[in-house]
A and B are shown apart, each in its own frame.
Chain A
Amino acid sequence: MSSGEKYVAAAYLVVFVGVLAWVAIIAAKLARLSHEVDELVELARRRGGE
Chain B
Amino acid sequence: MIPAVSVPARLRQIPLPTFAWATVALLATALALIFFYAPLDADQGISQKIFYIHVPIALTSYACFGWGAWKALTHLRTRAPGADLESYAAIHQGVIFGALTLITGSIWARSSWGIWWTWSSNQLVTFLILFLFYSAYFMLRYSVDPGPARANMCAVYALFGVVLIPVSWLSIRLANDFIHPTVFNQHGPQMSGSMFFTFCVSWAGLLALAATMYRVELAGKRLDAQLQELRELLT
Contact = CB atoms under 8 A, between A and B. Distances in A.
Interface of A: 2-5, 7-8, 10-12, 14-15, 18-19, 22, 26, 29-30, 33, 36-37, 40, 43-44, 47
Contact of B46 (A4, A22, A30, A36): A4
A34 to B, nearest CB: 10
Contact of B49 (A3, A8, A19, A26): A8
Contact of A47 (B46, B53, B231, B234): B234
Interface of B: 44-47, 49-50, 53-54, 57, 96, 99-100, 103-104, 107-108, 110-111, 209, 213, 216-217, 220, 223-224, 227, 230-231, 234-235
Q: Which one of B47, B108, B209, B235 has the greatest number of beta carbons of chain A within 10 Å? A: B47
Given A4-B111, A11-B50, A11-B107, A18 B96 contact: yes
B103 A14 contact: yes
Contacts of B49: 8
A5 B99 CA distance: 22
Given A3-B111, A4-B46, A26-B217, A15 B100 contact: yes
Contact of A14 (B46, B96, B100, B227): B100
- Please give me the 6 A-B residue pairs with the lowest Cβ-Cβ distance, nearest first: A7-B111, A4-B46, A4-B47, A11-B107, A11-B50, A11-B104
A50 to B, nearest CB: 12
